[in-house]
Chain A
Amino acid sequence: MSVRIQSDGQTVTAYLEGEIDHHTAAEMRRAIDDELQCGTVKLLILDFRDVSFMDSSGIGLVMGRYRLMRFYDGQLQVLNTSPQIYKVMRIAGLERLAVIEKGEMKRSDPA
């Protein structure tokens, strides 16, 4: 599983893992959306600390969850984005939609 989820019914934290591309994003999306279905969630936290790579499929993932949380009258927070991930998010202006907290410079990933 590429996403680990913690929930108390109001706050859902999704710890994303590995690489986010078009191939892996669909599974992550389904896992997160299953948790949001109850409609009581007020805060969704996407934690990117264990994500080593992300392309624009990750933008779709974040934007889709942003729209969903707005529909539920809740908020979205994005945590621990590496420089590469933050650079991709900036292209979509995601820093204007969600609170993004950048992470520490991580171990270098293999080429």
Chain B
Amino acid sequence: MKRKAENEVKLTLPSRSSNESYARVAVAAFAAQLDPTLEEINDLKTAVSEAVTNCIVHAYPDRIGPVTITVGLYAGNRVRVQVRDKGVGIADVKQAMEPLFTTGGGERAGLGFAVMQTFTDRLRVRSAPGKGTAVIMEKEIRKR
């Protein structure tokens, strides 16, 4: 999706776990103008929750840093969500995306990227160690 967004919002929040709920609800509320079904809204909320949690748990393991979320609405009823951090970055993105791979300890399932992949149409991850990570997710909201 190279075209310009028809409508776009950008928000930056500190990587506190108490912001997880706000982040997913904010994205869902903005995307609501495309008239999604309850299932589509839930898909989006779940995917965003995973991306933001990754920033909190992995990108900033021992400090609070900025998480920037850009939500764009595009022609063809498509929503694109970018979740960006300036944290530690991922050395091996391919490995990090493997289901069950986690550096988060016993209570983390290692399924964050698998959930993002399942609940959106397209997932891209760009990362550089020491610079940060950007997760881009796209989802088509079906016309009703």
Contact = CB atoms under 8 A, between A and B. Distances in A.
A89 to B, nearest CB: 10
Main secondary structure of the interface of B (DSSP, over half): helix
Interface string A20-61: 011101100100000000000000000000000111110111
A64 B50 contact: no
A63 interface: yes
Contacts of B49: 21, 53, 55
A84 B42 CA distance: 7
Given A22-B57, A91-B118, A108-B38, A56 B112 contact: yes
Contacts of B109: 56-57, 59-60, 63, 92
B69 interface: no
Contacts of A83: 39, 42
A111 B29 contact: yes
B34 to A, nearest CB: 11
Interface of B: 17-18, 20-21, 24-25, 28-29, 32, 38-39, 41-42, 45-46, 49-50, 53, 56-57, 106-109, 111-112, 114-115, 118-119
What range describes how many residues of A lie at the interface? Answer: 20 to 34
Contacts of B18: 23
B105 to A, nearest CB: 9
A25 B111 contact: no
27 contacts: A19-B21, A21-B17, A21-B49, A22-B53, A23-B17, A23-B18, A23-B20, A25-B107, A53-B24, A53-B42, A53-B49, A55-B46, A55-B115, A56-B115, A57-B53, A57-B109, A60-B107, A60-B108, A87-B118, A87-B119, A88-B115, A91-B115, A91-B118, A111-B28, A111-B29, A111-B32, A111-B41
